């Protein structure tokens, strides 16, 4: 993802862009599997998904909250620095 982003936009993506990238793919897959935009079908799909994407594994708990690994970052000397 980062390599393709740099090639297209000639800059490094913001850290949360990779999460958004995965989110869009999961949502697109849900809509495709459901055959239409149906909130009940999409919700059920998301509650049962386990997606291994560019940012790692994405899954949701029974309350619909994401259980992906958190990434702690800070801006240091004009660059994003990982604190994990």
Q: CA 9, CA 26: separation in Å to the nearest integer?
A: 23
What is the percentage of the chain residues whose pLDDT exceeds 70?
Answer: 98
Residue 46: in which H helix or E strand, if any?
A: helix 39-48
pLDDT tens, residue by residue, 1-41: 889 999 999 998 887 888 899 999 999 999 999 998 889 99
Residue 84: pLDDT over 70: no
Query: Could you tell me whether strands 73-76 and 79-82 are parallel, antiparallel, or unpaired per DSSP bridges?
Result: antiparallel
Residue 30: in which H helix or E strand, if any?
A: helix 17-34
């Amino acid at each position: 993802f980062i390599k393709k982003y740099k090639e297209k936009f000639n800059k490094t993506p913001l850290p949360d862009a990779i999460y958004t990238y995965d989110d869009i793919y999961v949502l697109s897959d849900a809509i495709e599997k459901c055959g239409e935009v149906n909130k009940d079908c999409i919700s059920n799909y998301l509650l049962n998904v386990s997606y291994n994407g560019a940012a790692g594994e994405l899954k949701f708990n029974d309350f619909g909250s994401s259980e992906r690994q958190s990434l702690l970052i800070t801006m240091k000397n004009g660059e994003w620095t990982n604190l994990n």
